[in-house]
Amino acid sequence: MRVPTIYLDTSVIGGYHDVLWMQDTRELWQQRESGLWRFISSGLVAQEVADAPPEVQKLFESTFDRSTDLLPMTLEIEDLAQEYLKAGVVSTKFEDDARHVAICTVHRIAHLVSWNFKHLVNVRRAAGFNAVNLLQGYPEISIVNPKELIYANTSDQDL
């Protein structure tokens, strides 16, 4: 069986050490260790993590192999991110959020995982990103928080 690949943005990596998000974030890592997920990220996240606390940087380095697990930025990704901005899905102030979605879309990663409810994980933004994707000839993507994934792997008996 093919292990699903999921893209983690910076908020999920930081969530590993954040009291509010720690329990669910660490459960996602445990599910990865059990072979339920393959984590992938990007050079953009690597840049963002460079300004994070040392424990977040260390987690990033131990989780992702820079040669195989970080998706590169391309002109195609930048162009798609600009389309999101033109459509007003997010403002230019949050251009990197548009880039995260564009990275997932162009690289055909089905799930972008984030704790960023204001700019990514919400119904209105997801609809906007996916509307632009369809207009530009790309598939829809799923923008979810870790809870949605960890509970997808919980049987009814566990609830």
Sign of CA dihedral 58, 63, 67, 73: negative
Q: How far apart are CA 29 and CA 73, in angstroms?
A: 25
Read off φ and ψ for residue 109, nearest 5 degrees: -90, 120
As beta bridge partners, residue 111 has 6, 142
Question: pLDDT at position 159, please?
Answer: 45
pLDDT tens string, the chain, 159 residues long: the values are 789 999 999 999 999 999 999 999 999 999 999 999 999 999 999 999 999 999 999 999 999 999 999 999 999 999 999 999 999 999 999 999 999 999 999 999 999 999 999 999 999 999 999 999 999 999 999 999 999 999 876 654 444
